[in-house]
């Protein structure tokens, strides 16, 4: 029986790329709570109607509802899943274990990125007001400062890419994900991969874990 797989990592850590490769090569089913929510709504079920009402009101879907959705859609005795972007916090991690995984064989992979570098990469990002082209003032600057190469539009920094906002976002990530990582480390199922390595190299490391 294949291990259930949980991928943890900051946005931009490359876990999405690896998830796609694992699905292709190992036959895992990819679980994204966002997709499950959309599918449930489309099905018109009672749960779907409840989810739609929550989302239409602009609220985040609560943990209990997300868990119900996972329970309805995941049979861990029949399929191997990649949980991607879930659990997001320690409460969800405990619930996932007690309500869904219940001691089945599992592997958790944390994609380790240098969070300081991640902050730098995001704060140096600029995007064109007119065509949306993305630049980076350090790695990928426009030929003329603040002017789009493609359309001549003005380059702007998004409000949520400003340093104080980004630092806060990373701080929140650390405070919620590090306890999750420690939880799986204590359970002896955690593997940390260096997300700075190449895609192929990381995939080889992951493949070895799954064999």
Task: Closer to Zn ion by CB, 89 or 124: give it.
Answer: 124
Q: Which helix H or strand E contains 53, and what residues bound it? A: helix 46-56
Between the alpha carbon of residue 147 and those of residues 32, 122, 127, 138, the distances in Å are 37, 19, 10, 15
Other beta carbons less than 10 A from residue 3's beta carbon:
16
121 is catalytic: no
Instruction: Compute the least distance from the CB of residue 129 to Zn ion, in Å.
Output: 7
88 is catalytic: yes
Set 3, 88, 121, 197: catalytic member = 88
Helix (H, G, I), strand (E, B) or coil at 125: strand
Instruction: Compute the least distance from the CB of residue 12 to Zn ion, in Å.
Output: 22
Instruction: Compute the least distance from the CB of residue 161 to Zn ion, in Å.
Output: 17
Task: Closer to Zn ion by CB, 28 or 135: give it.
Answer: 135
125 is catalytic: yes
15 is catalytic: yes
Set 49, 158, 162, 174: catalytic member = 158
Two tokens at 99? 């309500």
Nearest to 29 by CA among 88, 95, 78, 67: 78
Nearest to 27 by CA among 8, 2, 50: 2
126 is catalytic: no
Instruction: Compute the least distance from the CB of residue 136 to Zn ion, in Å.
Output: 15
Give the residues lining the site for Zn ion (CB under 5 A).
Answer: 128, 130-131, 133, 148, 150-151, 153
With beta carbons less than 8 A apart as the criterion, state whether 190 and 181 touch. Answer: yes
Task: Closer to Zn ion by CB, 151 or 172: give it.
Answer: 151
Task: Closer to Zn ion by CB, 123 or 148: give it.
Answer: 148
Which residues form the catalytic set? 15, 88, 125, 158, 169
């Amino acid at each position: 029986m294949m291990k259930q797989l949980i991928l943890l990592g900051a946005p931009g850590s490359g876990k999405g790329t690896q998830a796609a490769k694992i699905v292709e090569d190992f036959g895992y089913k990819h679980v994204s709570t966002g997709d499950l929510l959309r599918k449930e709504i489309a099905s018109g079920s009672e749960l779907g109607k409840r989810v739609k009402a929550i989302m239409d009101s602009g609220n985040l879907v609560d943990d209990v509802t997300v868990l119900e959705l996972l329970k309805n859609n995941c049979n861990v005795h029949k399929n191997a899943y990649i949980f991607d972007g879930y659990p997001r916090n320690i409460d969800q991690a405990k619930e996932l274990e007690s309500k869904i995984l219940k001691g089945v064989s599992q592997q958790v992979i944390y994609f380790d990125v240098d969070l300081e570098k991640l902050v730098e990469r995001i704060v140096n990002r600029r995007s064109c007001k007119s065509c949306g082209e993305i630049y980076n003032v350090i790695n990928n600057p426009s030929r003329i400062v603040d002017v789009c190469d493609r359309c001549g539009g003005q380059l702007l920094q998004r409000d949520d890419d400003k340093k104080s906002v980004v630092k806060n976002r990373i701080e929140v990530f650390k405070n919620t994900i590090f306890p999750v990582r420690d939880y799986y480390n204590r359970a002896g199922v955690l593997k940390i991969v260096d997300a700075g390595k190449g895609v192929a190299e990381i995939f080889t490391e992951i493949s070895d874990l799954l064999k």
